[in-house]
Amino acid sequence: MARECYTKHKREYMKKLIIGNWKMNLNMQEASLYLHKLSELIPAQRTVDVVLAPTMLTLQSLSLQVNRRQFKLAAQNSYWRDQGAYTGEVPAAHLRGIVDYVLIGHSERRYLFMESDKETRAKVQSAVRNHLQPVLCVGETASERANGETRDVLHDQLVGGLANLTADELDELVIAYEPVWAIGTGNNATPDDVKEAVRIIRHQINQLFGARATKEVRVIYGGSVNIDNAQSYLSLDQVDGLLIGGASLDAHQFSEIVDMAYKLEGGRAS
C-alpha cells in the first residue's frame, strides 16, 4: 500500500497525510468540479499523501476522474459485514478498488448516529480484511475534558476499536485525534494539547501492540484546522498529518495547507 515509513525502528520520517473530509457537502456535479479545481492547485508529488473523503454517492464517479498519483480517496464510513440484508449500508468490500482509506468512528458517527466501540471495532476489522487503510477517529467531548477524562476516553476508544487486531494488521492504520469540542467549532486544540494526546495514544498503542507498531502507526490531528493554524501542527514531530473538515471545502485553504506540508517535508523529490 501507499504508505512510506523510512525506518523500521526509529520514527525518523513518516510521510505526512492530509485528509479532506467533505462530510455531507458537494453533490456529484459540485464534487467533480471541485476535484478538477484542486487538481489544478495541488501538484502530484510523492512526499505527502493527499486524501479526499467525499460523500458515498460521489465516490465512484470521482474514482474514475481522479489521478491516483495526485489524490487518494477515502470513504467517510462503511459497514462491517461484507454482504447481506442490511438495507442502506455500503460495505468495505464494495469500496475496494474505489478508495484507499476509510474513516471509522468519526465523532459525528459516534454521537449523532450512536455508533459504539463494538461497531468501530468491527468496521476497523472489515477495512483491514478488505485491504483498506482505516482512519480510526478518537477524541474526548468538552465535558470529558473538563472532568479530566481525556486519557480514559482515548484508552477506551483505542482498546474498543482495535482489540482483536494483530500488530501486523496495524501496519496501515491511521489514528486521528479529533477532540469533539474542536470539531467545527473554531476552537482548535493547542499544539501542546495535541502533543499530549498523541503521547497518550502512542503509549496506548505500545501497551497493546508493542514498540514497532507504535513507531509505524500514523497519528494525525483534526478539529478546526485552517490555513492559520495548520503549520503549528504540521511542524510537530509527533503529528503525521491532518484531518480537515470545513477548510477542506475551500480550495485555496486546502491547497495552501498541502503546500505547507510539502514544504515542511523539504519538498522531497518524487
Stretch of 5-13, 63-71, 194-202, 220-228 contacting ligand PGA, by CB under 6 A: 220-228
Residue 21 or residue 133: which is nearer to ligand PGA going by CB?
A: 21
- Cα–Cα distance for residue pair 106/110, rounded to 1 Å: 6
Stretch of 42-50, 80-88, 176-184, 256-264 contacting ligand PGA, by CB under 6 A: 176-184
- Cα–Cα distance for residue pair 45/2, rounded to 1 Å: 12
- Cα–Cα distance for residue pair 254/256, rounded to 1 Å: 5
Which residues share a beta bridge with 177?
A: 138, 221
Among the listed residues 175, 243, 257, 260, the single contact to ligand PGA using CB under 6 A: 243
Task: Say how many residues touch ligand PGA, by CB under 6 A.
Answer: 13
Whether residue 4 lies in the annotated active site: no
**Catalytic position from the list 108, 140, 144, 178:** 178
Whether residue 252 lies in the annotated active site: no
Our finding on whether 184 is near ligand PGA (CB under 6 A) is: yes
Our finding on whether 170 is near ligand PGA (CB under 6 A) is: no
DSSP string, 145-203: HHTT-HHHHHHHHHHHHHTT--TGGGGG-EEEE--GGGTTTS-PPPHHHHHHHHHHHHH
| Residue numbers 13-32 binding ligand PGA by CB under 6 A | 21
- Cα–Cα distance for residue pair 104/162, rounded to 1 Å: 11
C-alpha cell belonging to residue 84: 447481506
CB of 243 to ligand PGA, least distance (A): 5
- Cα–Cα distance for residue pair 270/267, rounded to 1 Å: 9
Among the listed residues 183, 198, 200, 201, the single contact to ligand PGA using CB under 6 A: 183
Residues that bind ligand PGA (CB under 6 A): 21, 178, 183-184, 222-225, 243-247
Active site residues: 106, 178
